Structure 1
Amino acid sequence: MGFGFLVTFAVAAAVSAIGFRKFVWFISLGYGFSVAAIGAALLVMGAAGASVTAGGPTGGLTPVTAALCVLLVVYGCRLGGFLLARERRSASYRDAMRREIKDGSGVPVPAKIATWLSCALLYACETSPVLFRLTNANGFDGATGSASDDWAAWTGLAVMIVGIALESVADHTKSAFKKDHPRRFCDVGVYRLVRCPNYLGEVLTWTGVFVSGWTAARGFWQWVAMAVGWLVITWIMFGGARRLEIRQTRNYGDDPDYRNYAAHTPILIPFAPLYSVAKLKWLVG
């Protein structure tokens, strides 16, 4: 995978190190802002024509690779900013995080370091398809030295845009709804499509990134990096849906409106008859 992957890992490690201040930040603020920083780093590498492979200078931006990098920055800044604002403004969110995620006070330093490095590696793997499209030497547009803007690049870009838009709308919808109905579950707008549209948006975003690298990845380890990034974040999102389902059942389980909503609205996949993942204990998130 080469020098470029080490750069993205180092960037993610530097940013996500804020988790040493507050443990949950490894997977929240550190996640969003790490992705944004990686996107910015890839833009710089591409614009500078940086030498990131053993074959010499191969960097170069095409319209799609530039757009993919920009979208990583947009995605990361939006997510990180949203999580930061929610943490500062929402007492109920802070209470939920304290109950469900360790605050780090009792976590040994070696475990914190392992969490930090694992998170940084995951963030580098998630974004690796964009790196490989930016830097690989096969399937080149000879004028720029970067992978050509083919069907995988355009398809991945389109899916990524849909995912970011859906996640943004879902977060805004729920925040606005909770201001007027703080004690009711959100079942309006995109929440009529699935019960966790923000997690669906997340899955779509990273599916788009993954697809964008299909025709750019070269070799076993590049495919491993891409697949691990996509599979792990998808698993985590299903785990997040499970955690939310359990919390909502605890909070609203006595409400017949909620029971009807939960029984007829898929948990995460639109139009699929998957209404509950609460019993799937192997899911985490």
Structure 2
Amino acid sequence: MTDGTTKQPLTGHPPSQGPWLWPWSGWPVLWACCAGGLVRIIYAFGYGYGLSMAASAAMSWLVRFHLPGREVGGPQAVGLGLYAAYGARLFGFLYRRQNSQSYLSSKSWSKVDAKTAATPLGAKAAVTTFVSLSQTLSLYTLDTLCAPSARLAIEAGPVRQYGLAALSAVGLALEAVADEQKLAAKALAPDAPVMSGLYTLCRHPNYLGEILFWLGALGHCLVNSDASWRRKAVASLGPLFMVWVMVGAAARLDADALAKYGADPAFQQWAGSTPSLLPGLR
């Protein structure tokens, strides 16, 4: 008799940090991905973030599978794909936004550009380093899924193997659609609030998508790994940090929007009737 579960194949490799104290040794590559922050500090948060996610997927595949000749399992392939898709999507979106005339002519960009120009190089280097270190924690999360183990393989059905990855994919799609809707709205009115589309459900659907992506990705990496609880605890730091960042960013943007658009009756009605992050909650 079977219980409807499938057994993941054993890799035959002993537990290992991998070569060169992996994944911590991936930090220089991630720092290089974020090095645009030395020019404009927002490039570390934007382009650097996207490049780091894609680089994390590529390095994880190279170090954990290609070089040792290991076969990529289904859950591992999905995890690698989520990171790569997130990075490629974010970089492409930011590139298009950064080169759109509506964005470059907006008051928001003028303020950001002026602030960036006044930021000392030392501060830019510190932020670049901090962002790259946070991305190293996210790489550690993915490596918890990809690292070989000598312990017995996990008994896991399809829901356990892929259910949380589906949540992550939904979050990625939600964030992508919300970003595109906001970009289109800003092309028509660069300095007006976005209150249509997904923004009728909550004030920050893009941030909600980011939160769902990271919670799903974290869950996927943890439930498909038989790593120790200590390793899983460390693996949780990067994604949970990003969730905390998104919640804080939503609160800051709400305050900024109130100061900027608070006198607009339409904005007052929208802000008063639309939740910040979770649809259905006031």
TM bucket, shorter chain: 0.7 to 0.9
8 Å contact kept, 1:170–1:197: yes
Number of residues of Structure 1 aligned to a counterpart in Structure 2 = 259
Deviates more, 1:209-218 or 1:233-242: 209-218
Within the candidate set 107, 114, 117, 2:120 is matched to: 107
8 Å contact kept, 1:171–1:198: yes
Name stretches of at least 5 consecutive residues in structure 2 with no aligned partner.
1-15
1:268 paired to 2:280: no
Aligned to 1:252: 261
Q: Whole-Å Cα distance in 2 between the matches of residues 140 and 181 of structure 1?
A: 58
Q: Whole-Å Cα distance in 2 between the matches of residues 13 and 150 of structure 1?
A: 36
- Show the 5 A alignment for 1:129-278: 129-137=141-149, 141=153, 151-215=159-223, 216=225, 218-273=227-282
Shift of the alpha carbon at 1:174?
1.3
Percent identical among aligned pairs is: 27
Shift of the alpha carbon at 1:161?
0.6
What letter matches 2:275 in structure 1? P
Aligned to 1:86: 97
What letter matches 2:33 in structure 1? V
Name stretches of at least 5 consecutive residues in structure 1 with no aligned partner.
51-56, 274-285
Aligned to 1:35: 53
8 Å contact kept, 1:130–1:212: no
Q: Which has the larger radius of gyration?
A: 2
Shift of the alpha carbon at 1:233?
0.7
Deviates more, 1:161-170 or 1:34-43: 34-43
Q: SS where residue 184 of structure 1 aligns?
A: coil
Deviations 1:196-228 (A, max 9, x none): 011111111111111012231623542333222
1:122 paired to 2:131: no
Q: Whole-Å Cα distance in 1 between the matches of residues 241 and 257 of structure 2?
A: 24
What root-mean-square deviation, in Å, do the aligned CA atoms of Structure 1 and Structure 2 show? 2.6
TM-score in terms of structure 1 length: 0.80
Shift of the alpha carbon at 1:163?
0.8
Q: Whole-Å Cα distance in 2 between the matches of residues 200 and 84 of structure 1?
A: 22
Shift of the alpha carbon at 1:189?
1.7
Deviations 1:97-137 (A, max 9, x none): 236xx41644352x444323321121121243321111141
When residues 104 and 220 of structure 1 are mapped into structure 2, their CA distance, relative to the original with a 3 A threshold, is: farther
Q: SS where residue 23 of structure 2 aligns?
A: helix
TM-score in terms of structure 2 length: 0.81
Q: SS where residue 214 of structure 1 aligns?
A: helix
Q: Whole-Å Cα distance in 1 between the matches of residues 238 and 264 of structure 2?
A: 38
When residues 213 and 188 of structure 1 are mapped into structure 2, their CA distance, relative to the original with a 3 A threshold, is: same
1:72 paired to 2:72: no
Q: Whole-Å Cα distance in 2 between the matches of residues 9 and 242 of structure 1?
A: 30
Deviations 1:246-282 (A, max 9, x none): 2221222111111111111111122222xxxxxxxxx
Deviations 1:151-193 (A, max 9, x none): 4441221011101100110011111222334443222221111
Q: SS where residue 99 of structure 2 aligns?
A: helix
